[in-house]
Structure 1
């Protein structure tokens, strides 16, 4: 359910970014962390029968049975998957790298797959942008504590809760050029799709949030009420999105 909510909320922005690369028929594309598959299926339509879409996911259960000769489904982790070198015109990942401790290694593995003159598009959350701007005092206080718990949870796992805002430096460090950088805060009223998605996440991760010691059951209940209150407004997180062009013979390094 959460994956489908992500698609409804963010696919339009992702499609706009992918089209900005010049994506067209005949391209070979790699989708890392294919999720429920909406972008994979959309890419299939864009590249046509002369193109190729490789969908890589650690659990591709939503992708089985596509029946398309254009789509190739691979089960595995980007950090160790056996992928062809210098093959893809476009590599894309959305909300994947934040869950990888060795995200820099994952990025380098992606670059190995991009052909000279190809494109990389990454979209990742920046949870340090979270803040409640309107709503009950209790709800806003609980929102702040839940945000602290999210940070503590990621940190305890060796992951970076603010990875989205660090993508431009990562791209520049590996000599990608023609960068397009976006940092989009998702300001949402209670009852909105972003608020409801984050409420669902809090329910699913309730035990992990409480285990951080930063929140109580009461905080999570108050967080849920804020997410339902149409008079509340909050930035639940921002998305950092970077598009870059890869031309290794001009000095790029992996």
Structure 2
């Protein structure tokens, strides 16, 4: 079943800017993701599920590790960047994880990054994932905490605009019934699901402009300018100032935190 969900803020984004944004996210966040995935013991022969595959970097990386004796199923509501030649042990499904029908208890490892934050009834999505996890299987969830964002060093006018845009981001998520601070609640959510926690990482980088997470958030602001302005918390000048701030290597800010939880299903 292919489901369109208006809660996903990038659903109507144009191909070229969105692909570049996803590839920049991969460059910034993949190293930490790979480290956490390897902590599960990921190895040859495993069957893995990648939820929200984006531009496919983690999907392809896992496929290389599990080899021909294993396989990776990648599911995303938007598979436009997963077309073309892919590894032979990869299966791509254009589906909504909440309604995905796959064999129960069939995966050794499930991974989702920046997925649940876009789903109002994320508990349904998580329950569906866990139903497909083998007894003793592993799950890695990575979600943002946008409440951690704040501008720290920069021109006073730009600082003011950045903080206004930060408030617009929170309001946009709230207006859609989404939890903008979902990341910090992940450990408790996993505990309530009966999962055994292996690790909890809270990455809250203090970043200067011009690269990394600052560039990711600038790209998001450019694509979501109308949505931010519609909240009434920011205007066009604020968006322009935010992008200028995020481009300037002399500025410093926390753009958001990312919480990663590695947990194991009961055997």
Q: TM-score range by the shorter chain?
A: over 0.9
Structure 1's consecutive aligned runs of 4 or more residues displaced over 6 angstroms after TM superposition are none
Give the TM-score of the pair, scaled to structure 1.
Answer: 0.95
Structure 2 residue 235 is matched with structure 1 residue 216: yes
The alignment of Structure 1 onto Structure 2 pairs a total of residues equal to 248
Alignment of 1:93-242 (within 5 A): 93-242=112-261
Is this contact kept in 1: 2:63–2:72, CA < 8 A?
Answer: yes
Provide the rounded CA distance (Å) in 2 between the counterparts of 1:171 and 1:3: 27
Structure 2 portions without partners, runs of 5+:
1-19
Instruction: Quote how far apart the aligned CAs of 1:220 are.
Output: 1.1
Alignment of 1:24-103 (within 5 A): 24-103=43-122
Is this contact kept in 1: 2:197–2:261, CA < 8 A?
Answer: no
Is this contact kept in 1: 2:47–2:70, CA < 8 A?
Answer: yes
Structure 2 SS opposite 1:186: coil
Structure 1 SS opposite 2:204: strand
Is this contact kept in 1: 2:60–2:87, CA < 8 A?
Answer: no
Provide the rounded CA distance (Å) in 1 between the counterparts of 2:38 and 2:111: 12
Provide the rounded CA distance (Å) in 2 between the counterparts of 1:81 and 1:155: 26
Instruction: Quote how far apart the aligned CAs of 1:67 are.
Output: 4.3
- The alignment yields a C-alpha RMSD, in angstroms, of 1.0
Deviations 1:24-48 (A, max 9, x none): 0000000000000000100011100
Deviations 1:63-122 (A, max 9, x none): 223343310111101100112100000000001111111101111000000000000100
Counterpart of 1:3 (choices 22, 30, 36) is: 22
Structure 1 portions without partners, runs of 5+:
250-254
